[in-house]
Structure 1
């Protein structure tokens, strides 16, 4: 009688090598092909996750121009030891979003796609690479502009969020792209008062603002300055920081139409399309 392989023996058949896992994710993204299961042994720590992402950054044929910052659910924070995570954003996946234009957002069929209304901070000067401890005031001092925007949360792995934040961080933080809208004038005085609503296919699916994020949007910048300095990737002038989903993470599929309304500033319109190989 043949016995069913144990979980341990199944894991042994999978690769735990960060480069091998990274190669699978990068190949799937470039081919616009889903990965039905996690392509290796699931990381159990953020160190393992960022080792995979680090390898993937080296394999992806494009320049990192920004970072998405996402929240870690409270129930996962004690084990992972962090409250936020970061993922690389590449130049080819940054899309200007004038208020009167519908921007196509590519969904990998069978993968994960979601629309997230976000505030986008731009770093105005190179951060000191030796500085690994930052205050909110310090972080505000290196931000020169804030824009409204929409993050396309996207991955070849449909269950990426279900598998936890360590998995999310291993695949570029579940980032598929970033729409950049108009600048927020006088952002230092008004950022926390801007009301945001996301509408999908004509129905409101979420409301919020900077204060929906633990510590606010600038806390995401502060976290990222520390994280990237400790990772050996200090932030440089012009780097974009997508600070977090202020109305929620809203799953979408090809054919869906979404509008993110930043009251008093602009509406950002997007249409979800089927992704094509790059």
Structure 2
């Protein structure tokens, strides 16, 4: 999967430019466009390069997982990627049955729906200012039922591993923020979350169903942002990880994510236009 030697700076730059151009042009890449970065740090270098080429505001960050069989080799169990303003949809309430939000995805590329809790930061967090081994609840302004849409021009991006995912903006292509969850810390383990695609039931799980719980994902995001010298502003949204799994689909599909007792988020996935 990975080359024998670390990629050169020029190779990382070429990879960044190719992935960014594919996103801008909405063109499909049948394979990963070059060697896969050998380390998480190298992949974040690609992501940083790509951020300088992408003219959109960051509204939040997604947290994803490194597959268990690569965690020791990669030296980490989670990954992060930016969420941009153009693909952020703040609804703030449940959808009625006849309502939906349109989300752009890369037709012919990788597309997936993920049910997630979305955490809103209530204060700015500068690099190194928070000890994540201590309490973190005071940092959270609100928690919402939410969805991450994952999409990439690379058809089978996830099969290339976590460094490929990081290199392509963490494969994020959308965030939907639904209804707020009151008293979230005491109720999320009892909220059943379900995903339906094209009206077909896919999977269900308790809404805290991520590794060591969603607050562990928030702690990771704070630490990883600090390591990258990234300030997390007040109001930053954190997608804390797929609750029921990463569910592959295609452009043209419809999907519903249901948080029991909180409400539904209804979506239509439409092709990105260049």
State TM-score, norm by structure 1.
Answer: 0.91
Q: Residues of 2 paired with 1:260 and 1:46: CA distance?
A: 31
Question: 1:44 maps to what in 2?
Answer: 38
Could you tell me how far 1:210 is from its partner in structure 2? 3.4
Q: Residues of 1 paired with 2:233 and 2:208: CA distance?
A: 26
Could you tell me how far 1:15 is from its partner in structure 2? 8.4
Question: 1:185 maps to what in 2?
Answer: 182
Could you tell me how far 1:37 is from its partner in structure 2? 2.0
Trace 1:235-274 onto structure 2 (pairs within 5 A).
Answer: 235-274=232-271
Question: 1:94 maps to what in 2?
Answer: 88
Compared with structure 1, are the counterparts of its residues 87 and 245 closer, same or farther at alpha carbon in structure 2 (3 Å cutoff)?
A: same
Trace 1:205-220 onto structure 2 (pairs within 5 A).
Answer: 205-220=202-217
Question: 1:105 maps to what in 2?
Answer: 103
Could you tell me how far 1:16 is from its partner in structure 2? 5.2
Could you tell me how far 1:254 is from its partner in structure 2? 2.1
Question: 2:11 maps to what in 1?
Answer: 17
Question: 1:73 maps to what in 2?
Answer: 67
Q: Which has the larger radius of gyration?
A: 1
Q: Residues of 2 paired with 1:224 and 1:254: CA distance?
A: 29
User: Tell me, which stretches of 5 or more residues in structure 1 are unaligned?
Assistant: 1-6
SS in 2 for 1:212: coil
Could you tell me how far 1:201 is from its partner in structure 2? 1.5
Does structure 2 conserve the Cα–Cα contact (< 8 Å) formed by 1:139 and 1:225?
no
Could you tell me how far 1:128 is from its partner in structure 2? 3.8
Are 1:142 and 2:135 an aligned pair? no
SS in 1 for 2:217: helix
User: Tell me, which stretches of 5 or more residues in structure 2 are unaligned?
Assistant: none
Compared with structure 1, are the counterparts of its residues 218 and 210 closer, same or farther at alpha carbon in structure 2 (3 Å cutoff)?
A: farther
Q: Residues of 1 paired with 2:141 and 2:180: CA distance?
A: 11
Q: Residues of 1 paired with 2:206 and 2:240: CA distance?
A: 11
- Kindly provide the CA deviation profile for residues 128-161 of structure 1, in whole angstroms up to 9, marking residues without a partner as x: 42236412x5332211110111110111111111
Does structure 2 conserve the Cα–Cα contact (< 8 Å) formed by 1:16 and 1:40?
no
Does structure 1 conserve the Cα–Cα contact (< 8 Å) formed by 2:126 and 2:230?
no
Trace 1:92-171 onto structure 2 (pairs within 5 A).
Answer: 92-97=86-91, 98=93, 99-100=95-96, 101-131=99-129, 133-135=131-133, 137-171=134-168
Aligned residues: 269
